[in-house]
Chain A
Amino acid sequence: MEQQGSIEGAVLSLTDVAFGYPGEGEVLHGVDLELAAGERVAIVGESGSGKSTLLHLAAGLEAADRGKVHLTGKALAGLDEAARTRLRRSRVGIVFQSFHLIPTLTVLENVMLPLELATDLDAAQRRERAARQLAAVGLGDKGGREPEQLSGGEQQRVAIARALVHRPALILADEPTGNLDSRTGEAVFGLLLEQVRATGCALLLVTHCDDLAGRLDRVLRMQDGHLQDLAAEASAT
């Protein structure tokens, strides 16, 4: 996968982004965020403060009402649904809180899916690469299983493999440990971090666990529809 950076080298940049759901009040009032290649950033904040919404905007699943979103240098605003989808599938991998594996596919096929959608590798190559990625998350022997036959922690590891397999520039993870008990969550988080490091991609992670957040390069807090840099705050006081 070509690691195409932006002119400024940012993988993701949001400038004065505002967004509200139809019929509801505004959720984000002007968010600024810049993520350099390979940078790992955590977002914390109260439930309902708009963290997930921010990730959705970053992934191009929703379009901002105001402001600019650039994904690896490309402005999302000018793109139609199909073009946004194409950009997303080549540059972004997403890990959801509740895994969102496709129940009608085997574990290995789930991991192959992004390769099929985003690359022109042939079937054998796809299989081979997916198997390797699966082995990397410690599930090399579970490829033929159905997702429902795995534990929650295992399912999330599959989801991590699926998010990384096509070598995206950016991983978006929305409370990836939220549905797991603390011990499993810890393990999965460690794995995610390790894999992100290994592939060198950037990570934007939402979590409500300060402990986990502290292990990333930077921690931002979502409050009143704005993002605040916690490190900057700390050094200011």
Chain B
Amino acid sequence: MNSLLVKAWLRDWRRRPLQRLLTLVGVVIAVAVVLAVDLANQSAQRAFDRSMDEVAGTATHQILGPARGFDEAHYRDLRLAGWRDTAPIVEGPARLPDGRTIYVLGVDPLAEGPFRGAASDIGDAPVQRLVTEPGTILPPSGWWAGSGMAHEDGLTLETTAGRFEVTLLDRAAERDEPAVEADDEGGSLWVTDIATAQTLLGRPGRLDRIDVRLDDADIDGFAELLPDGLELVPVAARDQASRELAQAFRINLTAMSLLALLIAAFLIYNTQTFAVLRRREVLASLRLVGAGRRALFGVVMLEALLVGVIGTLLGVLVGMGLAQVLVGQVAQTVTDHFFVVAVTEVTPRPLALLAVIALGVGLSLLAALAPAWEAARAASPGSLGRGRLERRARRGLRGLAVAAVVLLAAGGVMLLLGTGGLVGSFVALFLLITGFVLLLPLVLAGVLRGLARLGRGRTLPRIGVRSLERSLSRSAPATSALTLALAAAISVSVMVGSFRDSVEQWLGQALTSDVYVVPVAPAAARSGARLPADWGETLARIAEAESVSTGSSQDTPSAVGMIDLYVVEPHPVWLDYLPLLRAEATGEALDRRLRETDAVLVTEPFAAHHDVGVGDRLEIRVDDGRRMFEVAGVYRDYGSPQGTVLMLGERFYAGTAGAEEVGSFGLRLPDDVDAGAVIERLEAWLAERETAAMVTRPGDIEQESMAIFDRTFAITHLLRVITLLVAFIAILGALMALQMERAREFATLRSLGLLPGGVRGLVVFQGAVLGGFAALAAIPLGLGMGWLLIEVINREAFGWGMDLRWPGREIAETVVLGVGAALLAALIPAWRMARMRLVPALREVP
């Protein structure tokens, strides 16, 4: 390639570094955002999968018993009967002194061999010590680095059974190896011997489950061996619900990342076409002195390639950094909802890398292609005029509009037919969004023309509006990007806002007691913790309560796999407070039905996930074995995304001695009682117990729940901000381009007497017009997207229904935000234009 040609073209980087850098920044930011979101998504999935694997290991089946565990003698019997591929487990949450929650996994190190990654990796040395020295525990290898602790240090763990001093063992130190730099934090499973775990978790002589590996042929024979009260459950069933949930969470993230992709594409297109168009005179002159078409085309594409490659590389770096922030957020969400997981490493998948390279490099080339081709083909500088390009762009509008209508129709039809499940809904959503966005340039052109007509006689505003219209290929993509970003903001506020309201309202209804006594454990692990059932009477006496309720949730096998069963002994007239959606009876009749016959209530997500309704029958394992229950009603509940089955204690313990332990107590106090004094008395009594428990009030629970809720959705807010930032840059780029292209006009206006302040005003006015348009267009788009997310996608994914809330305040905020972003973006070009030197801009063209 001719080196002078390359020089002529690339020298512009020295002449206008700011503009060229903006092109690069466009690519960097677009690539970074898309990659970061994908990484965060990916890491969350990996963290989740691994915590599943670590806990479940490679077992094919699990032997489960009553919620409080079963006698360890059963395990010995199995081994004696010759079943070697079995491993006993005692597991539960515990708290570190720094407040972090860990998950204690008590295993038989000698039996573990084939089962678990984390546990089988124990190696040879520490097994001896774990087994022979009570109170020794093996933290995950990645934990040591930030802990300030060393091999054989002591540490206090807090569990529902009390506080215990344990001795930390480091596998590396035990094996006499140099401490390996942990490649990741290794999950959060703390492995210990089964005997130690029994002590820590307060379950002497008991097991929570036995992991088993079975060939298909052996299953029946094995199941027969099991004594009454124990059950063989395939592992997949247990995982299923949680996996589905993780899926739903991922889907919300994916929606955001696709949106980011769309906006990023706009950004790159915008900055790259600008980079070429800006220098069309250079091309024209080169062409005049005889440069060949192919050579010119090559030079332009070479630059686009360079920008694409460098921008993508930088973008990948920035994106990895950004991902660290997002991953932290996501990991916290996963911990709150699913399992206790540690933050995982951030490594891009090859596929994601390929995607961002295609985005960064491919789109850069593609965006440069059209103007480069145009420029290379043109014979004279005159035919390269912006006017001609813009006229072509305007003709293209009609094509866009046709495409838009087709997409909108396709999306609408898909949605109406409701085919394709969740993926189908997503495809429909994106068809609709893309269709809407493609329609925007046409609408923008119309609106600008209308404004210009309105502004007849007001010369300056008319100049502003008409130059926007004439540079539609500049202004429309940027406006579309801003519209998308704002619509995303609105839809997320509609969704999260509606969700939050519904949850808050539900909490208000669901918490019917004045005071609760609950085990000391983090919210995420609370369902595993228990209190002695016989506390009830004493607590009621101390509190002088009108009534006591209890509730315990547990994982129980059923005809539809493992389910979350909530066993309650409610207050009187409890059904008045339960938000029933559908039921075969109400009030006392329903209460009697639930107390006297085998009937249950299920939550809305449960009904959706398992496709059950009022009158359907469900086999559920209760205290003394499996029985058939009839679904008597469906109620609204956001407590568990997998869904919950609510059963009265009478039915669960029918025919057995009754509950030994419960998950929590609820005390209803007389109206005139001082709750503060009651709490003090209860706390004094609890302080003398061995079991760690605490008193909370509905307000505290509500607060904690809402805090978890807000953390879950914090990432969407963060993405919103990033998206808006990208849109801001798109607007900035477009306005800069616009002003540069119109520099001569501005200089002419200045020579005619327009003050520098007037120039600033004009540019800012243009920003306001674009911002205002984007904000107005974003309202219908955002509301529509929000509605789809709630009514179609979240229902499909979570089975959660919620009352739609039209967020007036958020919409107003978004309008302000949009116009604000556009105004802010206008400030830089406004300032530059006002300070522009007039004479060079006015120079006579030869």
Chain A residues within CB distance 8 Å of chain B: 52-53, 56, 59, 61-62, 81-82, 85-86, 88-90, 94, 96-98, 100-105, 109, 112-114, 116-118, 123, 127, 148, 162, 174-175, 178
Q: Does B459 have its Cβ within 8 Å of any Cβ on chain A?
A: yes
With A96-B844, A102-B463: A148-B744 Cβ-Cβ less than 8 Å: no
Instruction: Please give, as numbers and ranges, the residues of chain B lying within 8 Å of A85 by CB-CB distance.
Output: 750, 753-756
Tell me whether B354 is interfacial, beta carbon within 8 Å: no
Interface string of B737-780 (1 = CB under 8 A from A): 00000001100111111111110000000000000000000000
In the bound complex, how far is the Cα of B800 from the Cα of A93, in angstroms?
A: 71
**Is the pair B751, A175 in contact by a Cβ cutoff of 8 Å?**
no
B350 interfacial by beta-carbon distance below 8 Å: no
Give the nearest-CB partner of B471 in chain A.
Answer: A104
Take A82-B756, A86-B753, A104-B467 as given contacts and tell me if A116 and B459 are in contact as well, using a CB distance cutoff of 8 Å: yes
User: Among the listed B462, B757, B844, which residue makes an inter-chain contact with A104, where contact means beta carbons less than 8 Å apart?
Assistant: B462
B contact patch SS? helix
Give chain A residues whose Cβ lies under 8 Å from the Cβ of B467.
104
B836 to chain A: closest CB distance in Å?
11
Residue in A53, A56, A148 whose beta carbon sits within 8 Å of that of B387 in the complex: A148
Q: A61-B838, A62-B839, A104-B467 are in contact. Are A114 and B752 (CB under 8 A)?
A: yes
Contact A96 B842 (CB under 8 A): yes
How far apart are B692's CB and chain A's nearest CB, in angstroms? 74
Shortest 4 CB-CB contacts between residues of A and residues of B:
A89-B753, A104-B466, A117-B753, A100-B748
Q: A62-B839, A105-B466 are in contact. Are A88 and B459 (CB under 8 A)?
A: no
| A114 to B751 CA separation, bound complex (whole angstroms) | 10
**Quick one: closest A residue to B756, CB to CB?**
A81
Looking at the assembled complex, report how far the CB atom of A14 sits from the nearest CB atom of chain B, in whole angstroms. Answer: 17
Q: Do A61 and B839 touch across chains, with their CB atoms under 8 A apart?
A: yes
What's the Cα separation between A97 and B744 when bound, in Å? 14
Q: Known pairs A62-B839, A123-B457; list 8 more (Cβ under 8 Å).
A: A61-B838, A61-B839, A88-B753, A89-B754, A96-B844, A116-B459, A117-B758, A162-B752
Question: B819-846 interface mask toward A, CB cutoff 8 Å, 1 = contact, 0 = none?
Answer: 0000000000000000000110010110
Min CB gap B600→A, angstroms: 72
Q: How far is A113 from B749 in the complex, measured between Cα atoms in Å?
A: 9
Q: Would A82 and B748 count as touching, CB distance under 8 A?
A: no
Q: Which of A90, A96, A102, A112 gathers most chain B CB within 10 Å?
A: A102
> Which B residues are in CB contact (< 8 Å) with A174?
844
For A105, what are the chain B residues with a Cβ–Cβ distance below 8 Å? 459, 462-463, 466
- Shortest Cβ distance from residue A113 to the other chain B in the assembled complex, whole angstroms: 5
Contact of B757 among A59, A82, A97, A117 (CB under 8 A): A82
Out of A56, A82, A175, name the residue touching B755 (CB < 8 Å). Answer: A82
Please indicate the chain A residues that have their CB under 8 angstroms from the CB of B751 in the complex. Answer: 59, 61, 88, 94, 100
In the assembled complex, which residues on chain B have CB atoms less than 8 Å from the CB atom of A104? Answer: 462-463, 466-467, 470, 745
5 residue pairs of the A-B complex, CB under 8 angstroms, read A52-B844, A59-B751, A82-B756, A85-B754, A117-B752
Question: What residues of B have a CB within 8 angstroms of the CB of A82 in the complex?
Answer: 755-757
Q: B460: CB under 8 A from chain A? A: yes
Is B459 touching A109 in the complex (CB atoms < 8 A)?
yes
- Chain B residues 48-68 with CB under 8 Å of chain A are none
Binding site for A on B (CB under 8 A): 387, 457-460, 462-463, 466-467, 470, 744-745, 748-758, 838-839, 842, 844-845
Would B459 and A112 count as touching, CB distance under 8 A?
yes
State the Cβ distance, B524 to closest chain A Cβ, in Å.
61
CB-defined contacts of A89 to chain B, threshold 8 Å: 752-754
Contact B745 A127 (CB under 8 A): no
CB distance from A119 to the nearest CB of B (A): 10
Q: Contacts of B748 on A, CB cut-off 8 Å?
A: 96, 100-102
Q: Are B460 and A116 in contact (CB under 8 A)?
A: yes
Contact A100 B744, CB 8 Å, known A56-B839, A86-B753: yes
Given contacts A61-B839, A123-B457, contact A98 B844 (CB under 8 A): yes
CA distance A52 to B751 in the complex (A): 14
Which residues in A have their C-beta under 8 angstroms from that of B470?
Answer: 103-104
B581 to chain A, nearest CB (A): 59
Instruction: Point out the residues of chain A lying under 8 angstroms from B752, CB to CB.
Output: 89, 94, 113-114, 117, 162
Closest to B457 in A: A123
Interface centre among A82, A85, A94, A98 (most CB of B within 10 A): A85
Number of A-B pairs whose CB atoms are under 8 Å?
81
Cross-chain contact B460 with A178 (CB below 8 angstroms): no
Question: CA separation between A94 and B648, bound complex, in Å?
Answer: 92
- Cross-chain contact of B753 among A56, A114, A127 (Cβ < 8 A): A114
**Chain A residues with Cβ under 8 A from B753's Cβ?**
85-86, 88-90, 114, 117-118
Which residues of chain B are near A109, meaning CB under 8 Å? Answer: 459, 462
B742 to A: closest C-beta gap in Å: 9
Measured between beta carbons, the chain A residues less than 8 angstroms from B757 are: 82
Q: How far is the CA of A85 from the CA of B754 in the complex (A)?
A: 7
> Please, how many angstroms separate the alpha-carbon atoms of A35 and B562 in the complex?
100
Closest A residue, CB atoms, query B466: A104
Closest CB-CB distance, B740 to chain A, in whole Å? 16
Contact of A97 among B460, B754, B844 (CB under 8 A): B844
* In the complex, residue of chain B having the shortest beta-carbon distance to the beta carbon of A123: B457
Chain B nearest Cβ from A195, distance in angstroms: 17
A113 to B458, CA, bound (A): 9
Evaluate contact between B749 and A102: CB separation under 8 angstroms. yes
What are the residues of chain A within 8 A of B839 when measuring CB–CB? 53, 56, 61-62
**Nearest CB in chain A: distance from B190 CB, A:** 70
Select one of A90, A117, A127 contacting B754, CB under 8 A.
A117
CB distance from A162 to the nearest CB of B (A): 8
Q: Which residue of B lies closest to A57 (CB)?
A: B839
Cα–Cα distance between A56 and B405 once the two chains are bound (Å): 54
Shortest distance from the beta carbon of A168 to any chain B beta carbon, whole Å: 10
**B463: A residues at CB distance < 8 A:** 102, 104-105
Which chain B residue has the least Cβ–Cβ distance from A80? B756
Q: How far is the CB of B379 from chain A (nearest CB, A)?
A: 20
B738 to chain A, nearest CB (A): 12
Q: What is the distance, in angstroms, from A88's C-beta to the closest C-beta of chain B?
A: 6
> A175 — which chain B residues lie within 8 A by C-beta?
844
Measured between C-beta atoms, what is the minimum distance from B461 to chain A in Å? 11
Provide the residues of chain A in CB contact with B459, threshold 8 Å: 105, 109, 112-113, 116
User: Which residues of B are found within 8 Å of A98, using beta-carbon distances?
Assistant: 844-845
Give the chain A neighbours of B842 by CB distance below 8 A: 61, 96, 100
What is the chain B residue whose CB lies nearest that of A114? B752
> Do residues B745 and A102 form an inter-chain contact, with CB atoms below 8 A?
yes
A121 to chain B minimum Cβ distance, whole angstroms, is 12
B464 and chain A: residue at smallest CB distance: A104
Q: Which residues of A contact B466 (CB under 8 A)?
A: 104-105
Tell me the minimal C-beta distance from A169 to chain B in angstroms. Answer: 14
Closest to B463 in A: A104
Q: Once bound together, how far apart are the Cα atoms of A183 and B750, in whole Å?
A: 31
B634 to chain A, nearest CB (A): 63
A97 to B748, CA, bound (A): 12
- What is the CB-to-nearest-CB distance from B458 to chain A, in angstroms, rounded to a whole number? 8
Chain A residue at minimum C-beta to C-beta distance from B758: A117
Q: How far is the CA of A162 from the CA of B752 in the complex (A)?
A: 9
Taken together as a complex, chains A and B put the C-alpha atoms of A162 and B757 apart, in Å, by 22
> Given contacts A96-B842, A96-B844, A112-B459, is CB(A103)–CB(B755) below 8 Å?
no
Closest to B838 in A: A61
**Given contacts A52-B844, A98-B845, A102-B748, is CB(A127)–CB(B756) below 8 Å?**
no
Shortest CB–CB separation between residue A144 and chain B, in angstroms?
11
**Most chain A CB neighbours (cut-off 10 Å) among B459, B470, B756, B845:** B459
In the assembly, what is the distance between CA of A212 and CA of B756, in Å? 36
| Residue picked from B387, B744, B751, B758, most chain A C-beta under 10 Å | B751
A90: B residues at CB distance < 8 A: 753
Contacts A62-B839, A94-B751, A105-B463 given: A127-B457 contact, CB under 8 Å? yes
Query: How far does the alpha carbon of A52 sit from the alpha carbon of B840 in the complex, in Å?
Result: 11
Closest residue of chain B to A104 (Cβ to Cβ) is B466
A103 to B457, CA, bound (A): 16
Contact at A178–B844, with CB atoms within 8 Å? yes
CB neighbours (8 Å) of A96 from chain B are: 748, 842, 844
